Amino acid sequence: MNRYAGRRVLITGAGSGIGQATVHRILAEGGDVVGVDVNEAGLKATFDTAVGDGTAERLSTARLDISDEASVAAGVPAAVDTLGGLDVLVNAAGILRSEHTHKTTLDLFNKIIAVNLTGTFLMIREAIPALLEGNEPVVVNFSSTSASFAHPYMSAYAASKGGIQSMTHAIASEYSKQGLRAVSVAPGSIASDMTTGKGPGLPEDTDWSLFAKLVPAIGGGMAGPETVAGVVAMLGSEDGRFITGTEVRVDGGTHF
């Protein structure tokens, strides 16, 4: 499959998890990619894998903090310049933190919103001018099953992802006549550093019975990030040409 030959793609969160997997999937399909992240060690690992795959000549990486307006204002034009334009923006970067809602500090709440929601907005705002000049332009945002279903101890995270989902609908409508598509992916039960490492930080007194609805109905457990990367690749390609202003849930039937 060579759906991305000649397509220019900017991917955030490229240093780990789903963002990293999406970089490799789109490179494998012939795309030119700039991958950005705050995690420089992760970006190096992404690039090293591309070297091993023989796709590194179409990959550039750069440090970019999506929660910092100045970093985004400088980083997006630099990426567009490197690519010679922009056709697809994938906003995969995000953080997951957990706490009892009544113990969630304002600093923690604001941090989650700043990275997940504000960061996604900043990337879109800076990329839109280039996207509108691109070829069949697409914005792929990352919501979560937490935006629509109960994930305990994650009220701030759920709020950020619900905001992304709503914002995606608004952008899809606003720029539809200019040919820009916008769609959200809503992963759930996906194994990554965010969900299986230190990211969730669940409270010590977590009531695990509240997580009964987070067990996938198919597949025998959590899926890998490459599962979501394949859906992202479809949405940003010609195969997704009739999909906009909606979200695609990828959770193995966790939430029927």
Question: Residue 121 corresponds to which tokens in the numbers above?
Answer: 């907005």
Q: Is 80 exceeded by the pLDDT of residue 193?
A: no
For residue 132, tell me if it sits in a domain.
Answer: yes
pTM for the complete prediction? 0.95
pLDDT reported for residue 191? 83
pLDDT reported for residue 18? 96
Spatial distance between the Cα atoms of 126 and 132, rounded to a whole number of angstroms: 11
Residue 88 CB contacts under 8 Å (≥ 6 apart), including other chains: 7, 8, 9, 10, 26, 31, 134, 137, 138, 139, 140, 236
Spatial distance between the Cα atoms of 194 and 196, rounded to a whole number of angstroms: 6
For residue 193, tell me if it sits in a domain.
Answer: yes
The type of residue at 256 is: F
CATH number at residue 33: 3.40.50.720
Q: Is 70 exceeded by the pLDDT of residue 199?
A: no
Residue 30 and residue 5 in contact, taking contact as beta carbons nearer than 8 Å: yes
Q: Which of 4, 153, 157, 175 is catalytic?
A: 157
Question: Residue 194 corresponds to which tokens in the numbers above?
Answer: 């965010």
Residue 201 and residue 154 in contact, taking contact as beta carbons nearer than 8 Å: no
For residue 256, tell me if it sits in a domain.
Answer: no
For residue 126, tell me if it sits in a domain.
Answer: yes
Spatial distance between the Cα atoms of 21 and 223, rounded to a whole number of angstroms: 13
pLDDT reported for residue 198? 47
Q: Is 60 exceeded by the pLDDT of residue 139?
A: yes
Q: Give residue-wise pLDDT tens across range 92-130.
A: 999 999 999 999 999 999 999 999 999 999 999 999 999
In DSSP terms, which residues pair with 32 in a beta bridge?
A: 8
Spatial distance between the Cα atoms of 172 and 16, rounded to a whole number of angstroms: 27
Number of domains comprising the chain: 1
For residue 54, tell me if it sits in a domain.
Answer: yes
pLDDT reported for residue 194? 55
For residue 72, tell me if it sits in a domain.
Answer: yes
Give yes or no: 157 in active site: yes
Residue 182 and residue 244 in contact, taking contact as beta carbons nearer than 8 Å: yes
For residue 2, tell me if it sits in a domain.
Answer: no
The SS3 of residue 234 is: helix
Please report which residue ranges of the chain form alpha helices under DSSP H.
Answer: 17-28, 40-53, 69-83, 106-113, 119-132, 155-174, 193-196, 225-235
For residue 255, tell me if it sits in a domain.
Answer: no
Q: Is 60 exceeded by the pLDDT of residue 176?
A: yes
- Mean of per-residue pLDDT scores for the chain: 94
What is the per-residue DSSP string for 171-197? HHHHTGGGT-EEEEEEE-SB-SHHHHS
Q: Which residue segment(s) compose the domain that 121 sits in?
A: 8-250
Question: Residue 239 corresponds to which tokens in the numbers above?
Answer: 């195969």
Q: Is 60 exceeded by the pLDDT of residue 165?
A: yes
